[in-house]
Structure 1
Amino acid sequence: MTHQLAQSRHIHSILNFAAKDSYPALTPNAELIGRSWKRCIEDYGMDPSRPRSARIVTQQTLREHQDSVDEFLNVARAGVDQLYGIIAGLGYVVLLTDHRGITVQYLGDRRYDRRLRKAGLYLGADWNEQYAGTCAVGTCIQEQQALTCHRVDHFDATHISLTCTSAPIRDPSGDLLAVLDISALDSPNARESQTFALHLTQLYARLIEDAYFLRRYRNQTVLRCGVSREFVQVNGQYLFAIDEGGRIEAVNTAGRSLMPKNAAGLIDGVSGMTELFECDLRDIWSIPYDHDDQVKAFRHYANKDTLFATLIKPKAKPADYSGSVKASNDERVPELDQLAADDPVMRRTLSLAKRLRNRDVGLLILGETGTGKEVLAKAIHQSGSRASGAFIAVNCAAIPESLIESELFGYVAGAFTGARAKGMRGLIQQAEGGTLFLDEIGDMPLHLQTRLLRVLAEGEVLPVGAEAPIRVNCRFMAATHQNLEQLVQSGAFRSDLYYRLNGATLKLPSLCQRADRQHVINSVLRKLIKQGQVEDVHIRADAMSAMLAYHWPGNIRELVNALAFAEATCDNHEITAEDLPEACLKQKSVAVPTEPSESPDGRRCLLLALETYRWNITEVARRFDVSRPTIYRWLQHHDIEQPRFLGKR
């Protein structure tokens, strides 16, 4: 059937529905879709024979909608990214709209931008039912429930190739806050192919909603309940924010299902946990102490079901105290602590740096270009016993080879043609009492490595042209992005110098590997503002999402440039995604695994594909661009059995 013929039949089907007021046939949500079609015809005055083009709001309007849910977008980003990582290989996009149906966050394959934008599967698209007709987002908003709008369920005939699945996200008051949607331009005809999509969308909508609830009430005690004792601390579905008297101040969507309701279906008659559960207030507050697992069983007053509960208490602010000369694991060292938040690799690096900052042991800092090796070295110097001395940084790769010897070691008067009349103190001498930081040490010429080794071994420097050495007292730190062990093996770097420099090794992860990227972005911006390099600006959630998704090949150095560019191009002291350099807007590619073992999401991705294509192995193989035997090998690897009634296809 041609696309034009399919559209004509769909228009005829809607007109027939309007004439007979009969719900669409063969639709699981027949009444729901029928109500929506009826609204489109009677309330909105839509004509099915006059399809509407996708409506993309202006940048200014989009910005206003994003601003209104900025805090929520900061929380939702991780869930949207994770969901997209699971479904991208199957041709889906992810849309997150506000409660009015405007797409405020979007992830999709940029190769199909033109088609996606034309279909309205794009940032800023308006999916309100009053404009777009029956669709997953708009009808979810109207019906206040999760649903799949599959192909001919759509009112607009231009949407009948689409499949869209949406789930509502509510705020702690129970009001609709946003809608999470996954959609595909081309989908299998079978409606059953979207069963798993519906479950997946509802799951991530709940995860995002609960994460936002916990963020909103992070300074308050939250009672978390679930049906399983073993999982309640990580996946308790019922959340109650309570005050010191056990009174309920907010509850998530799942928790509202436990609350008694009046004849109108509204929550009624419960103000405290002791009215909801058969317990005393003491039973609530003693949860962390009565059992080793910090979980306690409660019985629901009304339905008598047993639920397990744990308490999430706000963290008390640590008392400020002064550090001693000798560092401990818990010692606060502001110069170092500000360099990271909760990244595990950085925590280990900074913990070691704290222990060694007052020792004169040589430090070798390893990391890619732009990861902040000099920043770390300077922080160690400023927090250590040599802080009153100078910090001299030398980039061994930036100084011409012909000058590096005189720059490092200095020279006496008349040492060579063009020398200063009074000679010059070298950088090593200038670091007297302080720290000499040798950046890109791997680029130092071999003959100078020999002279540097003497300085390290004997604590003396011999200026060019001098007859007697000069005593020096400074600490040496070195850094490189190269593999010094390989350079030693190839003869390009002296092994004895390597071991002299490498009293301890500090490793810096690349920016894209850091778990605290958001902290780094905010810290770098604050530093630029404090230094007067940029004006005081705010990073909006869409810009933060784009920066967190970018792989930053230039690391923190590239981040500094990107923020400076964005500040220069932004309006109203607010950086949006549109203000970022074009490179930062490129989404991370989502790898479809060639072997299931390569991805923790391999099984889920494979199951979704099998469900989508109703176990048609040929279609699944085509989707992953592999052979049929590879699919069967994946099934065996993940211990997935093909349903017997389908047979091999």
Structure 2
Amino acid sequence: MPSDKQQHIQTLMQLGEGRDVFPKAQRDVIRRSWQRCLEKYQLDPSRPRPVRVLTQQALRDHQESADELLHVARAGVERLYSQIAQHGYALILTDQRGIAVDFRGQRDQLSELRRAGLYLGSDWNERYAGTSAAGTCLHDGAAVTCHQREHFDATHIDLTCTAAPITDPQGRVIAALDISALKSPRPQESQTFALSLVTLHARMIEDAYFLHRYRDCLILRFDTAREFVHLNGRGLFAIQEDGKVIAANHEGRRLIDAHLERWPPWTVSTLPAVTQLFDGELNELLSIPHASLDQIRAFRLRADDAIVFVTLIEPRGYPVRALPTVSQQDDPVPELDQLAGDDPSMHRLLKLARRMRHENVSILIRGETGTGKEVLARALHDSGPRAKAHFVAVNCAAIPESLIESELFGYLPGAFTGGRPKGMRGLIQQADGGTLFLDEIGDMPLPLQSRLLRVLAEREVSPLGAETPIKVDIRVITATHRDVTELIASGQFREDLYYRLNGAELLLPALRERADRHYLIRKLHAELQAERDQSLHLRADAISALLNHHWPGNIRQLRNAIAFAMATAEGDEITLHDLPEVCQTHTGRARGTTTPLAAASPFASGASSSTTSPAPASAEAGEEAGELLELLRHTDWNVSQVARQLGVSRPTIYRRMRRHGLVAPNHQPLAS
């Protein structure tokens, strides 16, 4: 019976004769390498040979050429070897030609490792040694495991090797990091962890080499997690003072590639500027070390709208100049500044709000239910010239349709049966000199829209029963969670009124899309402690659950969840188990996601048979329906509880249920 080596040689000889005898489970990366060995390098599988080892002088020449990399890589090599030595692995670091310029191995195995070619000066170039992890990794520029009989040369089929490439800041492969074992389990899957470990340390060495090469330049480091930016941020850019990118590491090049895919090749001649990659201004990036307490800022990527956290590394001796910062460009406005932490969408919104707070322009605030539309409106009022006058808030969805006209415009004595004997000043009149905030303007009945348009145009109001209009000086801020352009298209909202109300539009992001959720959690917790005169520590497991929840009810729901936990907590701290059950059981990640929750709605596949599900008029309608359905299900279809969570009236919830065809189990559809 032929040995394993004889069977292996026989298989390769048949392949050389043009016969397709690849093992069924053979991976493509190994197939391609074997074919190169046979066809391109003309290696003879019938003549196994040990790995070639260079002379001492030739080895020194290679080590001197790689001296800078070897100096930087030493710490990474030592760390990796300390983790694998006890499992019988040896480690080699090759240069770009496949020569082992660094080596680590157990003393009691040195003779055996040298015979196997796992030693200083060994040549693992695929052209000479055939298919191997190091050689094939250098050729393909990708991490690979070459397990036992996947090696081309029969001399090596007892080895199992895993290697990952190390690239320079221009993306060229300059080395391979390889760990190899003389003996290992037969299943190739046993090396999965080895592949991850080697790839991780190769990236660490690559980034250390990048930082060393560009130690005299400005370097931007970024990551999707704020906690890791300073410690081990995944992305690195070396930049000039004008923001031009000089070089990038592996993750940085991926971001550049994503950017280049958005533009035709003829529009891109050089590396982009960082302001083309991050949605922010250059002074916001350059001022990070001086304008941010933790020297980190959040930005959105222009390529895919994801949020990343960025810090700036300045070279030693870099002059500290008076760089323009956000606080220098715009005076601090406490009423607005406290609404957000470090979220790029909120930064842009608040920057516009600062400039609009002194203007008399009507503002339309859009955002999902619970995102803080009224809070923003009140902050605009409190930070502007009308701060000493009244701020009158009107929820157009909460006032019964039969009363909304009299509530808004007021009435004279005797104007209608059942009215107050002395009449009533309408809400518009009460806002004279101040701000009128019309929440859920999209739910205002069409006939009243005409009267409101006249008020905005003439700046006068006519109470019911009055013959003479009354002049009013008001600033109007409106808000809605609905897409008003869809309402206009369906004839439910006047187009001319929309343009009167939309002098400027502020779009509030959903809580699940914000990068400053931790700031909001801490802020709401502090506010509730002050209100209740309580001192309860918010434990890490509770914070983690709050960060991970997707919050269909947004900030309002988050506040309610913290209040619930404070009311039910035993002792002096809030734990995971003190939170509402929905926060404990939901595991969907919120960080960095912009996916709407429509997938949880009845419009997604697998809808409950107890819920009618007509097609939504728009993606936003589907999102609203999904959020409402989820809240109803979590409260066992308790409409009163849902109304309290969303801060609206029960009739409003019923109206929305009718709009989206949502029907409680075992109930008849709501009448329209």
TM-score bin, normalised by smaller chain: 0.3 to 0.5
Question: TM-score w.r.t. structure 2 length?
Answer: 0.45
Q: Which has the higher contact order (CA 8 A, sep 6+)?
A: 1
